[in-house]
Chain A
Amino acid sequence: MIEGKLHRAPVGRSKPWPETWVAAAFVAPAALVILLVVAIPLARAGWMSLFNIELTKPGVEPFVGLGNYITQLTSAGFWDSIYKALFFTVVTTVLELSLGTGLAMLMDQPMRFRWVLRSLVILPWALPTIVNALMWRWIDNATYGSLNALGTQLGFFHAYVPWLSQDTTAMWMVILADVWKMTPFCALLILAGLQGIDRDLFEAARVDGGGTVDIFRRIVLPLLTPIIMIVLVLRTMEAFKVFDLIWIMTGGGPASSTQTVAIYAYRTAYQGYDFGQGAALGYIIAIAIMLLAAVYLWLLRRTGTTES
Chain B
Amino acid sequence: MSTHVAGPRGKVPASGTAPRPARRKPLTLRQVRRALLVYAGMAIALVVIVGPFAWLLISSVADKVDLLSRPLSWIPAHISLQRFIDLTVGTSPGDSQAEEFRSALGNSMLIASVTTLVGVSVGTVAAYAFSRFRFPGHGWMILAFMGTTMLPPIALLLPMYQIMNTLGLADTPVALMIIYSSFVTPYVVWLMRGYLDTIPRELDDAARVDGCSRLGVLWRIILPVSKPGLLSTALLAFLLAWDEFLYALVITQTNASRTIPVALNDFIGRYGVDFGRLATGGVIAAIPPLIIGFVFQRYIVAGLTAGSVKG
Contact = CB atoms under 8 A, between A and B. Distances in A.
A202 to B, nearest CB: 13
B126 A30 contact: yes
A285 interface: yes
B129 A26 contact: yes
A129 interface: yes
Contacts of B145: 30, 34
A90 interface: no
B12 interface: yes
A126 B189 contact: no
Interface in A232-266: 234, 237, 240-241, 243-244, 247-248, 262, 265-266
B286 A127 contact: yes
Interface stretch (A37-45, A57-65, A72-80, A165-173): A37-45
6 contacts: A29-B126, A30-B145, A38-B182, A126-B292, A127-B289, A243-B246
Contacts of B209: 1, 4
A289 B125 contact: no
Main secondary structure of the interface of B (DSSP, over half): helix
B70 interface: yes
Interface residues of B, number: 102
A109 B36 CA distance: 12
B125 A241 contact: no
Interface in A101-157: 102-103, 106, 109, 111, 113-114, 116-117, 119-131, 134-139, 141, 143-144, 146, 149, 152-153
A41 B286 contact: no
A279 interface: yes
Given A111-B35, A237-B150, A279 B208 contact: no
Contacts of A212: 8
Contacts of B199: none
Interface stretch (B82-90, B91-99, B133-141): B133-141
A26 B53 contact: no
Interface of B: 5, 7-9, 11-13, 35, 38-39, 41-42, 45-46, 48-50, 52-53, 55-56, 59, 67-68, 70-72, 74, 118, 122-123, 125-126, 128-130, 133-136, 138, 141, 145, 148, 150-160, 162-163, 178-179, 181-182, 185-186, 189, 208-214, 239, 242-243, 245-246, 250, 260-261, 264-265, 267-268, 275, 278-279, 282-283, 285-286, 289-290, 292-294, 297, 300-301, 304-305, 308-309
B150 A243 contact: no
A144 B68 contact: yes
B45 to A, nearest CB: 6
A83 interface: no
A203 interface: no
A106 B42 contact: yes
B50 A120 contact: yes
Contacts of A282: 152, 154-158
Given A123-B290, A237-B150, A265-B154, 9 more contacts: A30-B185, A34-B185, A38-B151, A45-B159, A121-B45, A138-B275, A180-B48, A184-B49, A247-B245
Contacts of A139: 52, 55
Contacts of A127: 53, 286, 289-290
A42 B155 contact: yes
Nearest to A122: B293
A219 interface: no
Nearest to B264: A130
A201 interface: no
B195 to A, nearest CB: 15
Contacts of A87: none
A3 B145 CA distance: 37
A146 B212 CA distance: 63
A226 to B, nearest CB: 8
B211 A4 contact: yes
Nearest to B43: A117
A45 B154 CA distance: 10
A94 interface: no
Contacts of A188: 301, 304-305
Contacts of B243: 128-130
A33 B181 contact: yes
A244 B245 contact: yes
A103 B246 contact: no
A114 B156 CA distance: 44
Given A122-B293, A126-B293, A19 B134 contact: yes
A144 to B, nearest CB: 5
